[in-house]
């Protein structure tokens, strides 16, 4: 989305501090080596006295060239630097940042640009070098891969300018501070997302055809039978009461309301390695990052299906909420809210989230709830909350699981410590299976998946619900 790209920022250069005009210079490696080369002219002094003037003349010449080279460099105020994001910054996606430099001197200047970017964008600062001709824009770019969601601060841009001789460089800084927002990934599994969108459109088209034939409609009222009414639309109970044929009237189905609930409690901070495919470096992300990505993918599919989507993220308290809506502007608001959702260190209050949702959504709707079941001896709170919510809504509980726990429970122990660890893992999994069984008996649709596959699993279940006409 074009609106997600941060605004371009530009600033003029300036010197460092009060003494920047005097001490804001440095001799380059080339200038230093030429000065040191003058020591070679001191060798004849050992054999022919009074030849020291050769070395002094050489050093004087190099010093003069350094002074001339430095005098021709433009002052920092004559340099304008711009920072522009080519792509919207999204977690795990390559983002190109372009720098544009314009200098007003009458000489060609070699400029090294170092941007003080936030560690969420890049681990160590990276320097790019460009050649700036007089009053002509010179451009260079770097590519970064954001690793965290949310608002981050970008710092200044530092410049090192060298003249044609390359003997001295002048230092400058541009005040290009700005705050940008790193969004959830919207392109992970882009081909899969396109497939989901296509399937959602097919389901919606099928439902429209069914509505034209009188199937899949909502009851509106009763009226007297008229010639040509279908027999299946006759209300036999009302006919018996009134002693005449009564027909049921239907209205076209309204768009359904789908709530996306994301648990941002303690367990959502768990980090794992996300495989990014060949040619790309694997990424360390949290379960909450993946849940946010899944919610964004779901919102696109839900919108394509003609339904309205809403959002609720919570920890101990409600963090973000968005009432049901549709369209690009509604999706844009949702992306902003997902970007600002933060994982908390304490356990999430599931009952509080359910209470808020019941107040916000009176009409029956679909709830897609991404969470994780914390291990406890008693009944997990999320089970109680889901059991309460399913009385009014259709609940799809997307539970994140850890394959390593399953592997730990099935491995053959080699010592006492491994035996205790395997036994504990088996008990945890058994309590989890029992809780899930009770949820399914109460009508909750439970989907178990890994954090890396949460988006695909949630979308697949949503499309199944749509195809079966459960909402």
299-331 pLDDT, tens digit per residue, is: 988 888 888 999 999 999 999 999 999 888 899
Are 238 and 264 contained in the same domain? no
Residue 212 lies in a domain: no
> Please, which pLDDT band fits residue 286 given cuts at 50, 70 and 90?
confident
> Please, which pLDDT band fits residue 191 given cuts at 50, 70 and 90?
very low
| Cα→Cα distances 247→154, 221, 243, Å | 67, 9, 13
CA angle centred on 381, ends 425 and 389, rounded to 5° = 125
Residues 192-205 have a mean pLDDT of 54
Percent of the chain with pLDDT over 70: 84
| Cα→Cα distances 370→225, 267, 325, Å | 48, 12, 20
Q: In the beta sheet, which residues pair with residue 141?
A: 98
Closest by CA to 459, choosing from 263, 255, 295, is 295
Instruction: Name the token pair of 62.
Output: 């190099």
Residue 422 lies in a domain: yes
What would the pLDDT profile of 89-115 be if each residue is shown by its tens digit? 988 888 999 999 999 888 889 999 999
Q: Is 312 helix (H, G, I), strand (E, B) or coil?
A: strand
Q: Which residues contact 278 (CB under 8 A, 6 or more apart)?
A: none
Residue 213 lies in a domain: no
Q: What is the CA radius of gyration of the chain?
A: 33
Residue 188 lies in a domain: no
What is the distance between the alpha carbons of residues 466 and 199, in angstroms, rounded to a whole number?
A: 10
Are 247 and 283 contained in the same domain? no
Residues 27-33 have a mean pLDDT of 86
Residue 337 lies in a domain: yes
369, 375, 376, 382 alpha-carbon torsion, rounded to 10°: 0
What is the distance between the alpha carbons of residues 43 and 34, in angstroms, rounded to a whole number?
A: 16
What would the pLDDT profile of 387-420 be if each residue is shown by its tens digit? 999 988 999 999 887 777 777 777 777 888 878 7
Average pLDDT, whole number, for the chain?
82
Least confident of 150-159, 342-351, 394-403: 394-403
Range of the domain at 31: 2-182
126-130's contacts with Cβ under 8 Å and 24+ in sequence apart are: 128/99, 130/99, 130/101
Are 272 and 157 contained in the same domain? no
CATH of the domain at 69: 2.60.40.10
Dihedral sign from CA coordinates of 461, 463, 465, 467: negative
Q: Is 45 helix (H, G, I), strand (E, B) or coil?
A: helix
Q: What is the pLDDT of residue 352?
A: 93
What is the distance between the alpha carbons of residues 450 and 221, in angstroms, rounded to a whole number?
A: 46
Q: What share of the chain is helix, strand, coil (3-state, %, to 5)?
A: 40, 30, 30
Are 33 and 133 contained in the same domain? yes
Residue 165 lies in a domain: yes
CA angle centred on 430, ends 424 and 433, rounded to 5° = 145
Residue 189 lies in a domain: no
What is the distance between the alpha carbons of residues 413 and 3, in angstroms, rounded to a whole number?
A: 55
- Residue 362 exposure: Cα atoms within 13 Å on the Cβ side: 0
Are 296 and 369 contained in the same domain? yes
Backbone angles phi, psi at 419, to 5 degrees: -65, -45
CA 384 from centre of chain: 31
Residue 187 lies in a domain: no
Are 331 and 457 contained in the same domain? yes
What is the distance between the alpha carbons of residues 356 and 350, in angstroms, rounded to a whole number?
A: 10
What would the pLDDT profile of 231-268 be if each residue is shown by its tens digit? 778 888 888 888 888 888 765 455 789 999 999 998 88
Of residues 239 and 205, the one with the higher pLDDT is 239
- Residue 413 exposure: Cα atoms within 13 Å on the Cβ side: 13
Q: What is the pLDDT of residue 38?
A: 76
Are 262 and 162 contained in the same domain? no
Are 146 and 265 contained in the same domain? no
Residues 317-346 have a mean pLDDT of 92
Instruction: Name the token pair of 88.
Output: 């919207």
Asked if pLDDT for residue 219 goes beyond 90, the answer is no
Q: In the beta sheet, which residues pair with residue 132?
A: 109
Are 178 and 237 contained in the same domain? no
Are 244 and 266 contained in the same domain? no
Residue with tokens 């970007």, as numbered in its chain: 339
CATH of the domain at 371: 3.40.50.410
- Number of folded domains in the chain? 3
Are 457 and 367 contained in the same domain? yes
Are 226 and 351 contained in the same domain? no
């Amino acid at each position: 989305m074009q609106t997600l790209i941060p605004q371009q920022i530009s600033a003029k250069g300036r010197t460092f501090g009060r003494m920047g005009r005097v001490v804001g210079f440095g001799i380059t490696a080339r200038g230093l080596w030429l000065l040191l080369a003058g020591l070679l002219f001191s060798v004849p002094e050992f054999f022919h006295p009074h030849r020291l003037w050769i070395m002094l003349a050489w050093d004087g010449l190099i010093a003069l060239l350094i002074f001339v080279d430095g005098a021709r460099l433009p002052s920092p105020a004559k340099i304008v630097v711009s920072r522009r994001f080519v792509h919207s910054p999204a977690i795990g996606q390559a983002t190109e940042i372009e720098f544009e430099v314009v200098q007003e001197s009458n000489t060609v200047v070699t400029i090294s640009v170092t941007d003080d970017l936030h560690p969420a964008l890049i681990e160590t600062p990276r320097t790019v070098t460009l050649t700036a001709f007089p009053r002509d824009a010179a451009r260079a770019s770097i590519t970064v891969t954001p690793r965290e969601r949310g608002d981050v601060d970008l710092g200044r841009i530092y410049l090192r300018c060298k003249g044609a001789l390359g003997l001295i460089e002048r230092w400058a800084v541009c005040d290009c501070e700005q705050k940008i927002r790193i969004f959830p990934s919207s392109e992970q599994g882009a081909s899969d997302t396109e497939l989901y969108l296509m399937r959602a459109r097919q389901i919606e088209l099928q439902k429209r055809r069914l509505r034209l034939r009188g199937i899949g409609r909502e009851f509106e009222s009763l009226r007297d039978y008229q010639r040509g009414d279908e027999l299946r639309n006759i209300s036999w109970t009302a006919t018996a009461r009134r002693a005449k044929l009564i027909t049921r009237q239907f209205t076209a189905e309204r768009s359904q309301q789908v709530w996306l609930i994301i648990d941002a409690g303690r367990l959502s901070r768990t980090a794992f390695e996300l495989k990014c495919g060949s040619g790309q470096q694997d990424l360390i992300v949290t379960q909450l990052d993946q849940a946010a990505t899944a919610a964004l993918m779901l919102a696109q599919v839900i919108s394509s299906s003609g339904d309205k989507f809403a959002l609720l993220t919570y920890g101990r308290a409600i963090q973000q909420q968005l009432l049901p809506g549709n369209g690009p502007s509604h999706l844009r608001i949702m992306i902003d809210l997902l970007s600002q959702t933060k994982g908390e260190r304490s356990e999430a209050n599931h009952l509080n989230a359910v209470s808020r949702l019941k107040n916000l959504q009176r009409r029956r709707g679909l709830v897609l709830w991404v969470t994780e079941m914390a291990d406890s001896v008693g009944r997990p709170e999320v089970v109680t909350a889901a059991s309460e919510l399913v009385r009014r809504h259709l609940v799809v509980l997307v539970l994140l699981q850890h394959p390593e726990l399953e592997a730990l429970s099935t491995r053959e122990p080699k010592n006492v410590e491994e035996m205790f660890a395997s036994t504990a893992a088996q008990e945890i999994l058994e309590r989890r299976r029992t809780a899930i069984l009770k949820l399914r008996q109460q009508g909750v649709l439970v989907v178990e998946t890994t954090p890396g596959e949460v988006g695909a699993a949630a979308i697949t279940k949503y499309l199944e619900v749509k195809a079966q006409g459960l909402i």
